[in-house]
Amino acid sequence: MSGPLELVCEYCAHRSRGGESRCGHCGGPLRAALDVAETTVRGAREVVKGAHEVVRNAEKVAGVVGGEWQRFVLPAVGVLFAVLCAVLVWSCSPLRSAVAPPPPVSAAQALPELLAAAATSCERADAGRRAERCVLPAGSPLLFGGLAGGRELTLHTELAAPEELAATVRRWRSAGGTVLLDGRVYAAVGPSTTVLYADSRTGLLLETSAFTGPGAARTFLNRAGLLMP
């Protein structure tokens, strides 16, 4: 009788067993370990095929140029083949996932790139939770056109566990507003013209202060790259 199916997270390579639908480490989607292994093996076969082709071509060259040049050509081929084999071993090794970028340890680190670069300061908002309050200055290009009425924009951010993130998104849905994305990424304009954003892949929850209107909030979502699924 076979054991429980082993699942591997597509984003942080965390392994789990059972019927989970999301990674308990970062909230990312899970795939069967067999699928991941098959993909790796196919890639490894391509590397080996390419290496053999290089060796065959080099042997032809060495046969044409004669004895003295073989002393240089064949060792060079050996070095190249060794490098390709090292790449192959590395691609199949569990150490490969060990050097992958670690999951964010703070809400500020999990902010999308444009927002992270534009925010001037982030301070811990709650000692008992991974929540931070960040500020987007009034002169930020992301707010051009008076989107926030000439005021700075406050970003309330938090890294939440999958069940906490799901509960927050359910609360946002029930409050009304305009939902623009509702999948792995949830993005909406709230009833108070705030931006509501949740990313199940990183666990990030983001809620902003108010914009001048729903159109301004939607423009900000587009400019900040928050409508990327």
What is the model's pLDDT at position 28? 63
Q: Are residues 56 and 20 in the same domain?
A: yes
Q: Same domain for 137 and 208?
A: yes
Which pairs from 39-46 meet CB under 8 Å and 24+ separation?
40/91, 40/92, 41/92, 43/91, 44/88, 44/91, 44/92
Stronger pLDDT, 141 or 59, i.e. the higher one: 141
Same domain assignment for residues 75 and 130:
no
Gyration radius (Cα) of the chain, Å: 25
Confidence label for 79 from pLDDT (cuts 50, 70 and 90)? low
121 with 186, same domain: the answer is yes
In a domain, 1, yes or no: no
Q: What is the pLDDT of residue 1?
A: 46
| Average pLDDT value for the chain | 77
pLDDT(148) > 90: yes
- The pLDDT tens digits for 103-114 are 666 788 889 999
Distance in angstroms (rounded) separating the CA atoms of residues 96 and 115: 30
Residue 72 main-chain phi, psi, to 5 deg: -100, -40
Same domain, 121 and 90: no
Report the distance separating Cα 5 and Cα 7, nearest Å. 6
Show the domain range for 213: 107-223
- Answer whether residue 229 shows pLDDT above 90: no
Task: Using a pLDDT cut of 70, give the percent of the chain over it.
Answer: 54
- Residues 155, 120: Cα–Cα separation, whole Å: 11
- Kindly write down the DSSP assignment for every residue of 135-176, as one continuous string: EE-TT-GGGTTTTTTTS-EEEEEEE--HHHHHHHHHHHHHT-
* CA 145 to centroid of chain Cα atoms: 31
